[in-house]
Amino acid sequence: MEPQHQQHPDDGGDHVALIQAAWHRERPDLDVSPQAVIGRLHRLAARLTAELTLVYRRYGLSEGEFDVLAALRRAGTPYERAPGELAAHTMVTTGAMTKRIDRLEHAGLVTRRTAEDDRRARVVALTDAGLRLFDEAFTAHMRNEHRLLSHLDPGEAAALETLLTAWHRRLEGAGPSRT
C-alpha cells in the first residue's frame, strides 16, 4: 500500500485548513471557524512583514527605524517632532523610541536638539542624509506594497480595504477585550 501524501505548509497546502481539520477531529465540540479568518490574517501579516522588511534592510533600516523616519517625513518641513510625538505616531514606548533615535542619530540620519520654545524639551529632526535615504527607501517601499497588492484585482483590494477598515473601527470602538 502506497503512503498517503500529507500536505505540508511549504508545499502550497492551506495550513489553516489543516489546523482546522485537526481541531474538528480533536475538539468537535468547539466552533473553530474564526481560525479561517484570524489564522489566515495572522499568517498573512507575518508574510507581509517579512516582505516589507526586506526593503527596509536594503537601506540599512529596521522596521522601527523606518517608522521613525516616516513619522518625521510626514511632519513636513522642517521634518521634526518631539520624541513623545514620535512614540505616539509609531505606537511604541518612549524607552523604545529613545533606542531607535539613538541608532538613527549614530547613523547620521537624525539629529536631536533642545526645543526653541521649551529648554527642557528635545526635538528630533531628519538630517539631509536622512531625508535623501528615506525618500529613496519610501519609493522602494511603495513599489513593494504595489507588488504585494498586485496579487489581488482592484475590486478585491477595494473590498478588502472596506472590510478591514470596518472591522478595525468596530474593534477599536469596542475597547479592551474581557476574555
pLDDT tens-digit series, residues 19-71 = 999 999 999 999 999 999 999 999 999 999 999 999 999 999 999 999 999 99
Whether residue 12 is predicted with pLDDT greater than 60 in this model: the reply is no
Q: pLDDT at residue 6 above 60? A: no
At 132-166, the pLDDT tens digits run 999 999 999 999 999 999 999 999 999 999 999 99
Helix or strand or coil: residue 113?
Answer: strand
Phi and psi of 6, rounded to 5°? -100, 135
Residue 176 has pLDDT above 80, yes or no: no
Q: How far apart are CA 179 and CA 163, in angstroms?
A: 24
Return the pLDDT at 174.
Answer: 79
Phi-psi sector, 113: left (phi>0), alpha (psi -120 to 50), beta:
beta
Angle CA 35–41–44, to nearest 5: 130
Which helix (H) or strand (E) covers residue 124, if one does?
strand 122-126
Q: Is the pLDDT of residue 178 over 80?
A: no
Is beta strand 110-114 parallel, antiparallel or unpaired with respect to 80-81? Answer: unpaired
Domain boundaries, the chain: 61-160
Element (H, E) at 23: helix 15-26
Q: What are the strands of the beta sheet with 80-81, ordered from one edge? A: 80-81, 122-126, 110-114
pLDDT reading at 120 higher than 80: no
> What CATH architecture is 61-160?
Orthogonal Bundle (1.10)
Give the pLDDT confidence score for residue 90 in this predicted structure. Answer: 85
Mean pLDDT of the chain: 90
How much is the average pLDDT of 112-119?
79
pLDDT at residue number 13: 67
